Amino acid sequence: MFIWVAALENEHDRDKVSEIYRLYHGTMLYIAASVLKDPHLAEDAVSEAFIKIIKHLDKIDPVDCYRTRGFIVIIVRNTALDLWRKRAKGCEREVVLEEFAIPSGCLDPVLEKITSLEACQKIADCINQLHENYSDILYLKMELDCSNKEMAKILGISRDKVKMRLYKARQALEALLAGGDKSYGR
């Protein structure tokens, strides 16, 4: 990983990566270990996640904020889940993934143009009720303004899968906001 940091041409980017490492390495290890249940695999997941983060440094500014933390949580969780799936393919028995939702304090209201604080809080609460695949994709799209191509790279899925997930996430969010089934999208 340090080779990647040293390869960065811009000193500001190197400092940014060092600061990200200092602030979030422990959190990243915790998240990866909670998914993988193996400290060595967790280290591998964190290293792979840092490579993805380095490729998307332009999405991180400032380093110490809820948006950056949410972005890093999504990347490390998805990287760990990818590693877990690769290892699970070798197992004959089916294993059920645990749900790892972003903590409610990580997502601030995502629609800043709505003036009512209550409406914003309801939207944030509804997003937090969605399945992590849906809440992650909405967070990347609405809060970080990622393109479909960027989201596909970050999440390790195809662009078509990104489009479908966005469509389903919006449907699920609309259903929750309309007072529909609370289990929609779970």
SS3 110: coil
pLDDT for the residue numbered 56: 85
Which residues of the chain form CATH 1.10.1740.10?
A: 1-100
CATH of domain 1-100: 1.10.1740.10
CATH 1.10.10.10 for domain 104-186: yes
Half-sphere exposure of 74 (CA within 13 A, CB side): 29
pLDDT, tens digit, 9 for 90 and up, residues 4-55: 555 667 788 788 888 888 899 999 999 999 888 888 999 999 999 988 888 8
